[in-house]
């Protein structure tokens, strides 16, 4: 079985941001057990920025991009050193792989990333993945490692994705504030839980909260990958989560639809820069006939997007039913809205969103 394990900042660093040696040691021990059972394991880790904050003696996490990038460079080497120190106790070697969004958007980069990761697995290494925060631009970055883990799962054809966090799994409400919050054992692929925002946006040391984990579970589900959200501190959590032991995390079942990495990025990982409202005819054409979105079907344009940005596509009832990557900017889109292709000025692309860059979301048919 091929397994991707993601562990978050709150699990690998303490309140001061220092790297928790015992947490990494425990994770590496569990990885070694899985390897001994002939499983292939890839780790996606957070904690580089927090580690840099602690290493440089800062009292709190800065907010400016440049400093955060510098801190990631400081903390990443410390983080990798901890992993290799503890993996070596089990005769395993960690291999650092730093990724950026373009590695999943660009087909050539996607295949290069896949080839490298698969070869590392074949060589018996444990790939240790993080976002390349030291150079990633703020305009196009993942923002949290949950989405990276889900996209990596798609990239390498993983069987299971385990998202380790500081709570036991998904609850019907925030257990920290609601005594009646109930643990959710299993979530179906089309469950509305995958479309809502849950919990906080993350801790002061990290950027991923429960909402980002649900987004990651949705990405993985649409990749045909089973996902488990579980507590990093539970004994033998990886073995139990993979075996679907009751109480050992929330199980998210895979969807029967399998999107390309590019469409997964458009649908769930890319930040949208605006929205367009389409008429009922355009909505029907997109959903039932898999067409491109033409300017003639556009009723309203919102936002300040440029060509290549991702936008939400709404129907006349203001329901988001699709997402797509636009071929023109907002000014051109507004000027062309409602006009048939024959009425467009020379040089204007006839499709606002080509069907290859458009994804119909769940629960729309």
pLDDT per residue over 272-293, tens digit each?
A: 899 999 999 999 999 999 999 9
On the question of pLDDT at 113 being above 50, the answer is yes
Strand partners, 44: 6, 129
Strand partners, 226: 160
The pTM (predicted TM-score) of the whole model is: 0.80
- In the CATH hierarchy, which top-level class contains the domain 2-263? alpha beta
The Cα–Cα gap between 58 and 38 comes to 42
On the question of pLDDT at 41 being above 70, the answer is yes
Query: 316-344 pLDDT, tens per residue?
Result: 999 999 999 999 999 999 999 999 988 88
The Cα–Cα gap between 9 and 71 comes to 14
Ordered alpha helix ranges (H), the chain? 9-12, 21-36, 48-55, 65-87, 102-105, 107-122, 145-156, 210-221, 237-242, 261-264, 280-289, 330-336
On the question of pLDDT at 242 being above 80, the answer is yes
Higher pLDDT, 312 or 189: 312
Q: Alpha carbon 299 to chain centroid distance?
A: 31
Q: Is 248 helix (H, G, I), strand (E, B) or coil?
A: coil
CATH superfamily entry for domain 271-360:
PUA domain (2.30.130.10)
pLDDT in the model for residue 193: 59
- In this prediction, what percent of the chain has a pLDDT beyond 70? 92
**Given pLDDT bands bounded at 50, 70 and 90, which one contains residue 16?**
confident
CATH 3.40.1160.10 intervals, the chain: 2-263
CATH 2.30.130.10 intervals, the chain: 271-360
The Cα–Cα gap between 244 and 260 comes to 27
Buried b (16+ CB within 10 A) or exposed e, 262-276: bbbbbbbbbebbbbb
Q: Are 223 and 234 in contact (CB under 8 A)?
A: no
Q: Which residue has the tokens 């988001």?
A: 320
């Amino acid at each position: 079985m091929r397994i991707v394990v993601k562990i978050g900042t709150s699990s690998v660093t303490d309140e001061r941001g220092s790297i928790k040696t015992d947490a990494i040691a425990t994770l590496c021990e569990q990885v070694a057990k899985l390897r001994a059972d002939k499983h292939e394991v890839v780790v996606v880790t957070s904690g580089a920025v927090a580690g840099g904050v602690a290493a440089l003696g800062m009292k709190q996490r800065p907010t400016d991009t440049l400093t955060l990038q510098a801190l990631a460079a400081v903390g990443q080497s410390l983080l990798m050193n901890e992993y290799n120190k503890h993996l070596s106790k089990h005769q395993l070697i960690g291999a650092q792989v730093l990724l950026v969004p373009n590695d999943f958007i660009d087909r050539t980069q996607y295949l290069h990333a896949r080839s490298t990761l698969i070869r590392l697995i074949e060589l018996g290494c444990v790939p240790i993945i993080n976002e390349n925060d030291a150079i990633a631009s703020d305009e196009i970055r993942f923002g949290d490692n949950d989405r990276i883990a889900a996209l990596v799962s798609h990239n390498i054809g993983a069987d299971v994705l385990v998202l380790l966090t500081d709570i036991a799994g998904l609850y019907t409400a925030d257990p920290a504030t609601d005594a009646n919050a109930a643990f959710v054992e299993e979530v179906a692929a089309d469950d509305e839980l995958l479309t809502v925002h849950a919990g906080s946006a993350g801790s002061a040391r990290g950027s991923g909260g429960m909402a980002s984990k649900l987004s990651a579970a949705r990405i993985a589900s649409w990749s045909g990958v089973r996902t488990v959200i579980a507590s990093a501190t539970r004994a033998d959590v990886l073995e139990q989560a993979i075996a679907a032991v009751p109480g050992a995390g929330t199980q998210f079942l895979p969807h029967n639809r399998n999107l390309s990495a590019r469409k997964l990025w458009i649908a769930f990982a890319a930040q949208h820069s605006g929205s367009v409202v389409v008429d009922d005819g355009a909505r029907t054409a997109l959903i039932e006939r898999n067409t491109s979105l033409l300017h003639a079907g556009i009723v309203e344009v919102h936002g300040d997007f440029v060509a290549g940005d991702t936008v939400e596509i709404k129907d006349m009832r203001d329901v988001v039913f699709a997402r797509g990557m636009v071929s023109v900017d907002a000014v051109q889109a507004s000027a062309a809205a409602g006009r048939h292709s024959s009425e467009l000025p020379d040089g204007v692309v006839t499709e606002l969103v080509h069907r290859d860059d458009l994804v119909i979301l769940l629960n729309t048919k």
